[in-house]
Amino acid sequence: MTDRRSFLRGAFAAGVGGVATASVSGAAASVSGAAASEAGDAERPLRGFHGVHQAGVEEAPLPRTSVVAFDVIAENRRELADLMRAITDRARVLTAGGVPDGAGITAPPADSGVLGPDVPGGRLLVTAGVGASLFDGRFGLASRRPAGLTTMPTFPNDALDPAWCHGDLSLQLSARDEDTVVHALRDIARHTRGAAQIRWRMDGFVSPPRPSGTPRNLLGFRDGTANPAPADLGRLVWNADGGTFLVVRLIRMLVEFWDRVGITEQEQIIGRARDTGAPLDGDGEFDPPRFAADPIGKIIPLTSHIRLANPRTAQTEGSRILRRGFNYDRGVDAVGDLDMGLVFTCYQRDIASQFEAVQHRLKDEPLVDYVRPFGGGYFLVLPGARDDRDFLGRALLA
């Protein structure tokens, strides 16, 4: 109780005072463009915080990320609104950067100091969402739950652990450097203490293209080759209000088992060549597979991952998703096996007709012998904050 009231009276009351913010609006407006994916663009700022959409969806994945789910422990709707304002204010400050305020002799420092005395601006993406459980009876929001926002079910071949599933809120923090992500998480956790507590967290990383093209996952195959083109995102990803639906799937890969499988069998399971990423009937990574010319699956098996996930028919074209994959490595498990895999995230306008349609097509595919989905959840990524007076979730809480 003391911590919660401290949040309400102190952390939020401080607003954006933790970092000098005289130039926040200017800094946010002055940076634009997608995330840099090439080493030579390492110093290019990311897009600003404000906009119709939140950052972190359309941008190319950054090397480091943390996906965090929270349980809200605020006691009423007003306190929930204060929580969302605090998250928005901290995200606005952290993405803009600046010099943290000084603290009194006996006061704790206003900033953790992880990034030094001057927090760099334009090096962080913050993406916030809400889960179906936020729309229960606690805050009077039941009638406002979007019809498409449900609780992630257990699919065939899942091994879900409740401790790693769902959440009232989601937060994804992405940056080029791990300390930037850690700094942002500590800052937001500090300023929301007493109103939200972490339910689960998974850190991930994106490998650089080797030697070029789409980054690889820990099975050694390229991940995200067939994503929709930017021109299709308005139709497949963004809702009319500027939000989108996020699916998170935490998938352990049984890499030691996979590494004992012959390369030909691996490629038949995926449907692509491991070295180039090309479909088995093509030469380059982005060559479209010619499924219609191979109706019995002689070249690309009918049970291959790419053929089931995206059959490339007129009937299944609308179920395409914007896929973002991050690798994770948690060391070893209790019996000494490597504990690593994929933080799968995807965005779409409608979870049932897109992600779930794909998931049902993948039921019992050969790949299920080598992967174990154990966590994740469904979330509504809120529309963006339009300016420095707006906050994430304002329309929902009005």
Beta bridge partners of 112: none
Average pLDDT over residues 189-203: 97
What is the model's pLDDT at position 19? 44
Cβ-based neighbours of 82, under 8 Å, separated by 6 or more: 7, 8, 12, 74, 195
Q: Is the previous residue joined to 211 through a cis bond, with omega within 30 degrees of 0?
A: yes
What is the model's pLDDT at position 34? 36
User: Other CB atoms closer than 10 Å to residue 25's CB: what's the count?
Assistant: 16
Exposed/middle/buried for residue 67 (C-beta within 10 Å: 0-12, 13-18, 19+) = buried
- The predicted-structure confidence for 119-151, as pLDDT tens digits, reads as follows 988 899 999 999 999 999 899 999 999 999 999
CB 129 within 8 A of CB 351: no
pLDDT of residue 6 exceeding 70: no
Average pLDDT over residues 185-199: 97
pLDDT of residue 267 exceeding 80: yes
Average pLDDT over residues 273-302: 97
Give the model's confidence band at 210: pLDDT under 50 very low, under 70 low, under 90 confident, else very high: confident
CA–centroid distance for 63 within its chain: 13
Nearest to 135 by CA among 155, 151, 121, 158: 151
pLDDT of residue 287 exceeding 50: yes
Give per-residue burial for 330-363: e unless 16+ CB within 10 Å, then b: eeeeeeeebebbbbbbbbbbbbeebbbbbbeebe
In 167-243, the DSSP E strands lie at 169-175, 196-205
Give the model's confidence band at 107: pLDDT under 50 very low, under 70 low, under 90 confident, else very high: confident
Distance CA 3, CA 25 (A): 31
Nearest to 89 by CA among 397, 387, 395: 387
Cβ-based neighbours of 42, under 8 Å, separated by 6 or more: 36, 176
CB 278 within 8 A of CB 300: no
pLDDT of residue 311 exceeding 70: yes
Q: Domain spans of the chain? A: 47-98+112-396
- The predicted-structure confidence for 8-19, as pLDDT tens digits, reads as follows 555 554 544 444
Alpha helices in 279-335 (DSSP H): 305-309
- The predicted-structure confidence for 324-365, as pLDDT tens digits, reads as follows 999 999 999 999 999 999 999 999 999 999 999 999 999 999
